[in-house]
């Protein structure tokens, strides 16, 4: 495992995380060997006075301009789909219609100040648009040289497989990255988790099986630390995580963390990075101290016995 396997989440850059702090985080991440930055055109409309997104991309664009040569060192990933049609009203989002995707993509490139986006994500499902149109639109962005790789987030596995089959049949670039939320502990099935309103946003055993059968795919895990619940008793886990499996896993996690002399959340990140299949955790941090903890976690080695005990707790 290496720091390059970690993804830096830039969701609140330019809103809750001010520019000075964000620049310090970006500089530290690259200095430590990090490469991959994750944002979206809708970040963070709910934290902005405007009710519209774009602040994170704009800040990243300013950072890139202020750091000549750094563009060649980083992998830029951004997304399209959940931006509100009317600022401040998330009940209607722009979705994935071909004209919307292309218009949003051009706006993202302008905010980022780049010609090429390394990874472009379909951020959420939009069943109002035929899937073959979605596949053709995203594939066209790659064929035209504007995008290098395609990702698909918050989609059920069967839709991912169908999209990849359509891409193969039509000879366009397929989606080769998945982004879902997952962690060491999981909520009870079919129970709503506050703040997680994507019906198919959680990685499941089926996801793991699909990735095992398709090693060319890459999983990025968002919210891997469940908003700091592992290390901050004052926050705690949402009620959906209250079941016997969580208790057993937290007990196993505490033992391994004590053996390693690190925080439980750091073990979680190391467990994800070294898993089978592996998941690249997206570290959403707001201070250099938090980032340094994530960097240390990316370098943490769990021995075979520790990993087996973590895996066996259920």
Annotated catalytic residues are 43
Cβ–Cβ under 8 Å, residues 104 and 94 = yes
Residue 282 contacts residue 224 (beta carbons within 8 Å): yes
* Rounded Cα gap, residues 161 and 148, in angstroms: 20
Strand pairing partners for 93? Answer: 84
CA distances from 222 to 29, 178, 181, 246, 255 (A): 18, 11, 5, 19, 25
Q: How many CB atoms lie within 10 A of CB 150?
A: 23
Q: How far apart are CA 134 and CA 5, in angstroms?
A: 28
Q: Are 26 and 37 in contact (CB under 8 A)?
A: yes
Residue whose C-alpha is closest to residue 106's, from 60, 56, 141:
141
CA distance 298 to 187: 25
Q: CA 216, CA 213: separation in Å to the nearest integer?
A: 9
> What are the start-end ranges of the E strands in 211-274?
218-222
């Amino acid at each position: 495992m290496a720091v390059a396997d970690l993804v830096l989440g830039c969701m609140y850059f330019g809103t809750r995380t001010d520019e000075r702090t964000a620049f310090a985080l970006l500089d530290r991440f690259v200095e430590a060997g990090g490469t991959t930055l994750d944002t979206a055109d809708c970040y963070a409309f709910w934290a902005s006075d405007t009710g519209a997104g774009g602040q994170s991309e704009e800040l990243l664009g300013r950072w890139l301009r202020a750091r000549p040569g750094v563009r060649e060192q980083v992998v830029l990933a951004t997304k399209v789909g959940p931006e509100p049609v009317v600022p401040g009203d998330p009940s209607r989002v722009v979705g994935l219609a071909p004209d919307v995707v292309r218009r949003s993509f051009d706006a993202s490139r302008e905010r980022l100040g780049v010609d090429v986006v390394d990874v472009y994500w379909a951020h959420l499902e939009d069943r109002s648009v035929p899937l073959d149109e979605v596949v053709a639109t995203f594939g066209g962005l790659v064929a035209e040289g504007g995008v290098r790789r395609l990702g698909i987030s918050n989609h059920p596995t069967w839709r991912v497989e169908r999209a990849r089959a359509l891409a193969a049949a039509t000879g366009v670039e397929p989606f080769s990255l998945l982004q879902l939320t997952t962690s060491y502990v999981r909520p009870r099935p079919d129970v709503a988790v506050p703040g997680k309103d994507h019906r198919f946003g959680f990685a499941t055993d089926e996801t793991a099986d699909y990735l095992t059968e398709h090693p060319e795919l890459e999983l990025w895990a968002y919210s891997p630390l469940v908003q700091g619940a592992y290390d901050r008793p004052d926050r705690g886990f949402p009620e959906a995580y209250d079941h016997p499996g969580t208790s057993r896993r937290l007990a196993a996690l505490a033992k391994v963390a004590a053996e390693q002399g690190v925080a439980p959340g750091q073990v979680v990140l190391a467990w994800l990075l070294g898993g089978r299949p592996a998941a690249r955790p997206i570290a959403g941090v707001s201070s250099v101290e938090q980032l340094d903890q994530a960097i240390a976690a990316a370098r943490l080695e769990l021995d075979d016995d520790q990993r087996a005990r973590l895996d066996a707790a259920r």
